[in-house]
Structure 1
Amino acid sequence: MELKFQVQTKIQKPVHEVFDAVYNPKKLSGYFTTAGASGPLDEGTTVMWGFADFDGGAPFPVSVKRVVADKLIVFEWAAAETDDTSGKPVKELPYNTTVEMHFEALGPSSTLIRIAESGWKESEKALQASYGNCQGWMHMSLCLKAYLEHGINLREGSF
């Protein structure tokens, strides 16, 4: 069985605004990467994302594989499995998962963002990690919606 998932959210903003809010590190830090993002999600680059609300905000690499403006962002990052004994995330795993973000214009002021992640090994730890990431991406997409539609940061104080 292949471990993968997809979440989606409709956002009442033009596709370019939604895409830019993920691509642009300053905007991404306004609702998602609470300890910052080191640069834009340009194809072929590796940027560092940090989350102050998790593990002290230590940044980790995001390797950008493909970008199609206003349509697609694909990146890889370390699988977020937990250690058997501590339950804490293992920082250095021997494999990555792949995240695909699809942006679809539904009209001049409405966008559907679909986020899919795949590539976990077939194990109980990997299954649990995929559930956690599924929850995280749904949370991210709703935070993106609140940020763009209402100018608020839902992530602040959530964890």
Structure 2
Amino acid sequence: MSRKCDYDTVEAAFRKRVDGRMNNLTKFQINRPAHEVFEAFVDPAKIGNFWFSSSSARWEEGKNITLFYDIYNAEVGITVHEIEVNKRIFFQWAGEENTVTITLKALDEATTIIEVNEEGFQDDDPALLQKIVDNKEGWVYVLSCLKGYLEHGIHTLREGLVR
């Protein structure tokens, strides 16, 4: 049995608003303690094992950070607005309205639920559906690489994405 996708219904489902802005929420379970998951993002030496190649400095509240992606000869800036050690990171992409909140919820001493919520998508953007899908794909990929790195020591997954 084949199902036809109703794009109007799918797009309407994405139009959930949080504080007046569109958001995209991605969640994963990582079988590692919250402090290890937190350090993987904020430590410039660790982020290269699953996401960007490196970052210009340790992520701290109020800092502007440059993230480098060597394989694509690219870089992007972020501003870290808030940090709650081992619990929450809130940052904004440079030159964009979108903000990202990374929340860590310890289920026990060895298991963490990570939630990445990106907000700022405009509901009147004609390319909204494609932007939401691309964003979800990106965060699922990042968190998959994070899981591989922290749970199994695999640090080469991030270079496997082909577009």
Q: TM-score range by the shorter chain?
A: 0.7 to 0.9
Kindly indicate whether structure 1 or structure 2 has the higher relative contact order, using CA contacts under 8 Å at least 6 residues apart.
1
- Residue 126 of structure 1 deviates from its aligned partner by 4.1
What is the 5 A alignment of 1:9-24?
Answer: 9-24=28-43
Q: 1:39 is matched with which residue? A: 57
- Residue 9 of structure 1 deviates from its aligned partner by 0.7
1:98 corresponds to 2:116: no
What is the 5 A alignment of 1:1-159?
Answer: 1=15, 2=17, 3-34=22-53, 36-53=54-71, 56-78=72-94, 95-122=96-123, 123-153=125-155, 154-159=157-162
Superposition RMSD on alpha carbons, in Å?
Answer: 1.6
Identity %: 32
In the alignment, residue 130 of structure 1 is paired with which amino acid? I
Which 4+ residue blocks in structure 1 deviate beyond 4 angstroms? Answer: none
Question: TM-score scaled to structure 1, two decimals?
Answer: 0.82
More helix per residue: 2
1:65/1:127 CA distance change after superposition, 3 Å: farther
1:22 counterpart SS class = helix
Distance 1:124 1:52 in 2: 32
Count of matched residue pairs: 141
Q: Deviations over 1:32-78 (max 9, x none)?
A: 103x211111010010112234xx33211111010000000000015
In the alignment, residue 66 of structure 1 is paired with which amino acid? E
Instruction: Answer with 1 or 2: which has the greater Rg.
Output: 2
Question: TM-score scaled to structure 2, two decimals?
Answer: 0.80
- Residue 133 of structure 1 deviates from its aligned partner by 1.5
In the alignment, residue 46 of structure 1 is paired with which amino acid? N
Distance 1:128 1:145 in 2: 26
Instruction: Answer whether contact 1:7 1:134 (CA < 8 A) is retained.
Output: yes
1:99 counterpart SS class = strand
Distance 2:136 2:70 in 1: 20
More strand per residue: 2
